Chain A
Amino acid sequence: MNNKLLSLFQLCDSNFPTGAFSHSFGLETYIQEDKVHDQATFAEWLEVYLMEQLVYSDGLAARIVYDALENEDFDVIWEMDRLLTVQNIARETRDGTQQMGKHMVKIADSIYDAPMLSMYRERIRQKQSFGHSAIVFTMVGHYLGVPKQTTVLYYLYSAIANLVQNAVRAIPLGQTAGQKIIYAFQPKLEAAVETVETLEDIDFGAVSPGIELSQMQHERVNVRIFMS
């Protein structure tokens, strides 16, 4: 391991203040309906969320943005920022990714001397861009010289690890159960990165109906500890 990788680790830490602890991305709807109530049902939900939404949105976007950074084709990045935001049909999830993106770019820009991050932050400030953590994370990975696939893998890992922490609080699950799920997800995360590699542009934003509906319904869930 080198220091570059260690730096990217910092962004994966669930203590990294992006506000991810406030967002369940529809999980809370399933918890309220008692469809997710233990380690097994949560792991089932998490896999569907990863493989049927995250890979097609954040995962594919991270890959495309990394390539665009390599080619210095910045318009592709700004298009991806817009696409990532508007493809979220559920308002809370859309607002949530935007908030997290803003938080992350602000901190990342303070830590790293990377012109791309400053540019992205400025565009968001001027409302030319929305902000998305998948794009910020990829910019940092690329800036640090971490390979593309590793960057995508670590981004997906951080998303999953955050959701596990949220599930531990909300379901609730034991801390050990949470760590076991994260460990068990390693091969699934690698499979997700492989899937991302095989996707074409037209696959972008595909989502399974139940996952999306739960995110739309969350607005009307009675008892809420999450904002999405």
Chain B
Amino acid sequence: MSEWTGELELDTERIQDKTITENLYFQGAFKIMRPVYSHHSGHPSYYILNPGGGYLDGDTYRMKITAGTNAGLTLTTQSATKVYKTPNTQAYQEAEFYLGEGSYLEYLPDPLIAYKDARYLQKNIVHMSKGSTFLYSDILTPGWSPEREDFSYDCLRLINEFYMEGKLISYDHIKLNPGEQPITGMGFMEGYTHLGSFIVISDKVEPGLTDRIYDLIQQEDEDVTIGISQLAVPGFTIRILANYTQVIERIITKVHHLISQEWFQTKPGSLRKY
């Protein structure tokens, strides 16, 4: 018996022009659907399901995803991840990603919704090899509460560790703790309710790209606050404060399109499922 509420392992490899599933295992409250190959491409999209419908008190989830040499894949979820109240023990998820040389892995899950009295810790640990590319996004949204107050959740912590050939190259730790912090105020959420992040690490990122992305996201006319900065290695992080999930999704999609257009002269398929 596994001690995890949900467990998922996926290994992929590239055979000629196609990335295929080499090994797949899941148990408990994690499931993965058959990959979708859009428009004759060899690039699969995998959708993760959480049959339990949400993360509960003390739940633990674990996934391990491997992209073989030159493999390319997209990993997403079928719907938002919901974290419900955790009176005793926080919910926890850890994900490990292994990227072989020249591989391309996108992990673009739906938003995370944290409900009243929820506590959640998430760790992504990304092991990259030479010439690999990793794209990651997350969107944190406050769930509905009977009192209609925002930020009724207790604490969200998201940690991202990135290693290149075994060396730590970036470490990202966002902590939102409405239980203890004046969360709406200066230095915290600055009056906004939603927080989005988009992280791209790749040798293909050059300084001009972040300038072009900056110009693109400046055109956003909704009420948002956006920052973009280059990492210590070729790559960048974008952070977005906004009041609507859709606004953050739109900005991330725009940037994603720009990158796909510049690097592959393609438009990424729509991942949304409705």
Point out residues on A near B: beta carbons under 8 Å. Answer: 30, 35-36, 41, 44-45, 48-49, 52, 56, 79, 82-83, 85-87, 89-92, 94, 202, 204-217, 219-220
Please report the C-alpha to C-alpha distance between residue A211 and residue B186 in the assembled complex, in whole angstroms. 8
Which of B168, B173, B186 is the one whose CB lies under 8 Å from A210? Answer: B186
Interface check B126, CB cutoff 8 A: no
Interface check B157, CB cutoff 8 A: yes
Interface check B228, CB cutoff 8 A: yes
Please report the C-alpha to C-alpha distance between residue A216 and residue B171 in the assembled complex, in whole angstroms. 15
Which of B169, B173, B189, B229 is the one whose CB lies under 8 Å from A204? Answer: B173
Query: Are A86 and B170 touching (Cβ within 8 A)?
Result: yes
Which of B159, B170, B241 is the one whose CB lies under 8 Å from A209? Answer: B241
Interface hub of A56, A94, A213 (most chain B Cβ within 10 A): A213
Which of B157, B168, B190, B226 is the one whose CB lies under 8 Å from A86? Answer: B168
Apart from the given pairs A48-B186, A209-B241, 14 other A-B contacts in the complex at a CB distance below 8 Å: A44-B186, A48-B187, A52-B187, A83-B171, A86-B170, A89-B239, A94-B232, A206-B157, A208-B187, A209-B190, A210-B186, A214-B187, A217-B225, A217-B227
Query: Are A212 and B239 touching (Cβ within 8 A)?
Result: yes
Tally of B interface residues using CB under 8 Å: 32
Interface check B181, CB cutoff 8 A: yes
**Cβ contacts under 8 Å, B228 to chain A:** 216
Q: How many A-B residue pairs have CB under 8 A?
A: 104
**Cβ contacts under 8 Å, B237 to chain A:** 89, 216
Interface check B56, CB cutoff 8 A: no
Please report the C-alpha to C-alpha distance between residue A215 and residue B239 in the assembled complex, in whole angstroms. 11
Interface check B188, CB cutoff 8 A: yes
**Cβ contacts under 8 Å, A48 to chain B:** 185-188
**Cβ contacts under 8 Å, B159 to chain A:** 202, 205
Known: A206-B173, A216-B237, A220-B214. A90 touches B186 (CB 8 A): no
Interface hub of A49, A52, A209, A214 (most chain B Cβ within 10 A): A209
Point out residues on B near A: beta carbons under 8 Å. Answer: 157, 159, 167-176, 181, 185-190, 195, 214, 225-232, 237, 239, 241
Interface of B is mostly: strand
Please report the C-alpha to C-alpha distance between residue A161 and residue B230 in the assembled complex, in whole angstroms. 29
Query: Are A206 and B175 touching (Cβ within 8 A)?
Result: yes
Interface of A is mostly: helix
- 5 A-B pairs (CB sep. < 8 Å): A85-B232, A86-B171, A89-B229, A210-B189, A214-B227
Distance of A201 from chain B, by nearest CB (Å):
11
**Cβ-closest 6 pairs across A and B:** A216-B227, A48-B187, A206-B175, A87-B171, A205-B173, A216-B229
**Cβ contacts under 8 Å, A202 to chain B:** 159
Query: Are B232 and A209 touching (Cβ within 8 A)?
Result: no
Distance of B176 from chain A, by nearest CB (Å):
7
Known: A82-B168, A85-B232, A87-B172. A210 touches B227 (CB 8 A): no
Known: A89-B237, A213-B227, A219-B229. A205 touches B187 (CB 8 A): no
